[in-house]
Amino acid sequence: MVKYGRPLTLDAIRFTLDDVRARFKSGEVTVLPLKDLLLSQVDATLASWTKSSLVHVINASGVILHTNLGRAPLSDLALRAMDNIARGYSNLEYDLEKGQRGARLDHAESLLRKLTRAEAALVVNNNASA
């Protein structure tokens, strides 16, 4: 229960017991399974329910930034930076100099302005700029 949490574990137990009852009533099973077998079925159900459906694929489409294939892979450096900042709290929407709420776009705008020498920059998601 610790690994999956109480609600999901209870759902898996109920699912397993409902399955055993149905198979017993239909005659498919004539002897009720032992506790250890039931627990292993619950564990298998939980593992199945929580398994990620995302898998690595090879982009052989000819489209470099394919929207259906996750777009651009991130570099190890980018992943480490994200991992480092995501492991705790950050100043995402907090201006440390002013000691008050800030804007999350300030971080990206500052960097983009430096990289492009533009007067301003704006970051939007997906097709929000259209």
* Model pLDDT for residues 15-63, shown as the tens digit of each residue: 999 999 999 999 998 888 899 999 999 999 999 999 999 999 999 999 9
Nearest to 69 by CA among 47, 88, 54: 54
Task: Delimit the domains of the chain by residue range.
Answer: 6-50, 75-116
Q: Which residue has the higher pLDDT, 6 or 128?
A: 6
pTM: 0.54
Q: How many residues does the chain have?
A: 130
| Spatial distance between the Cα atoms of 43 and 80, rounded to a whole number of angstroms | 33
